Structure 1
Amino acid sequence: MATGKIAQIIGTVVDVEFPPDELPAVYNAVEIPRDGDNLVAEVQQHLGNNWVRCLAMSITDGLRRGMEAVDTGRPLAVPVGRPTLGRLFNVLGQPLDNLGSLETAETWPIHREPPSFEEQITEPQLFETGLKVLDLIAPFTKGGK
């Protein structure tokens, strides 16, 4: 994992300089250690001169030029599956609802390839309204207008 230094801070935008040939990929997470916790930022752009532009996922108070930033080597990921139903999370996948930590091992990156056409349902499905006349004369399709 590459380690860089903060070069510039403008609001929630943080520019980080990394060693040559060790630039993190776009959408990789970068962690900046500060006062007992880590600020997480996501790489958005390669600027040239070994700089990357990152978007901070929380406030940037307390950051200063020259602070260390570590490339995690992976994108931001959030928990998925049945245990997440009815729960409230932030963009980092951390629970905000005071119901304790989440007991799931499966996470998906927030930037993924879309499903292939074969994986998508293409046959129309009828939406039953419960009104017999409407369902018979003018049935609605799911996802239709």
Structure 2
Amino acid sequence: MNAAHETGPFFHGTTADLEPGDSLSAGFRSNYRPDVVMNHIYFTALRDGAGLAAELAAELAPDERAPRVYRVEPTGAFEDDPNVTDKKFPGNPTRSYRSTSPLRVVEEITDWPRLAPEALQVWRERLTARPPEERGEILN
């Protein structure tokens, strides 16, 4: 699937401390299944969606790193994220994408809404409610 129709802006949530011009690339653990190393770098056109990803990544950070949201630019082709597109939601309402090419950091976004601890706990429970082997495959 080609998502060339989407023009952004695009966002990525992480715990990495980055500067404009830095790159984000594939090859890191999934925020949702830390036992899986991702072959793609994921991003969204929804700032709040990137914020959720950042908060979930912070849950996995062993050194208590802060969640961060960056505005990013894809450096290569990208596609709709098949993990949510039509698998969980018809179409792509989450405006989620993935690429094997790096993302270039444009700027850090600091005014994204943080989740209340209770809301973050609900997400954590959703992600860990079933054993890993029953959570479904990540299309990597």
Q: Same fold (TM over 0.5)?
A: no
Flag the structure with more relative contact order, 1 or 2, with Cα contacts below 8 A and sequence separation at least 6: 2
Question: Larger Rg: 1 or 2?
Answer: 1
Query: Which structure dedicates a bigger proportion of its chain to strand?
Result: 1
TM-score w.r.t. the length of structure 2 is: 0.27
TM-score (norm 1): 0.27
